[in-house]
Amino acid sequence: MSASPATPEINLVAGDELSGRPGGRFVSWALSYGKAVIVITELIVVLVFISRFAIDSQIADLNEQMGKKKDIIVGSKDFEDTFRSFSLRVGAVSELTTPLSIDKILTETKNLIPQGISVNDLGIKDKDVSLNGSAKNESDLAVLSGAFKNSSNFSQVTLTKVSRDTTDQGGSSEIDFSLTAKYQQIAK
């Protein structure tokens, strides 16, 4: 019997030999799971790239809105400056023009009248004060006139009438007078 010669078999596909080599497990993993990781990473990059267009349009819209609001603010700056200036001037004027109190004028006037003066009539109109009365002697009248003239609260002090009563009542005669002055409030 004749024997047939045996043909050798050649296996071109490497089996489990790859896992036995150093680094073979990594190459095996990279060929199977690594492909999936790379595909997922590429999908994420594409999504980020596409979302960039939406974000760019939002940024452009916000910049446009800011530009419009900035124009409004710049446009109202002149009005605001004028308003603030006016407000400061009104505040300064209101401090200077505090209303006068009749009580204050009466108190100031009363403090300036010396003992020898009797007041018959006292008139106050706006800032004008008129005083009619009689003095026992010339020195009392001089003290009254000097007190009004030296006072920082009164200006334009004038004695408009000075007369002596000639009727003798018990040996003394009084001096009738009229005094006018303008009250000025001192700013504190």
Strands 154-164 and 117-125, by their bridges, are unpaired
Considering the domain architecture, whether residues 50 and 89 belong to the same structural domain is answered as yes
24 and 48 co-located in one domain = yes
For residue 148, being part of any structural domain is answered with: yes
Number of domains in the chain: 2
State the pTM of this model: 0.45
Residue 172 pLDDT = 63
Based on the fold, state whether residues 93 and 106 are members of the same structural domain.
Answer: no
Residue 122 sits in the same domain as residue 179: yes
Residue type, 48: V
pLDDT at 84: 92
* Phi–psi pair at 93, nearest 5 degrees: -70, -40
Domain hosting residue 149, numbered range: 102-165+172-183
Q: 6 in a domain, yes or no?
A: no
What pLDDT is attached to residue 12?
A: 66
Say if 5 falls within a structural domain.
no
Shared-domain flag, residues 39 and 87: yes
Q: Which of 78, 97, 116 is the last residue of a domain?
A: 97
51: helix, coil or strand?
Answer: helix
Whole-number pLDDT of residue 128 = 86
Identify whether 131 is part of a domain: yes
Q: In what order do the strands lie in the sheet with 128-135?
A: 117-125, 128-135, 175-183, 154-164
Kindly give the confidence (pLDDT) of every residue in the chain, 188 residues in length, as a single tens digit, with 9 standing for 90 and above. 556 677 888 766 655 666 667 777 777 777 778 888 889 999 999 999 999 999 999 999 999 999 999 988 888 888 889 999 999 988 887 766 656 677 888 888 888 888 888 889 988 887 888 999 988 888 888 888 899 898 888 888 888 888 886 665 555 678 889 999 998 876 54
Domain match, 148 and 87 both: no
Q: What local confidence, expressed as pLDDT, does residue 91 receive?
A: 84
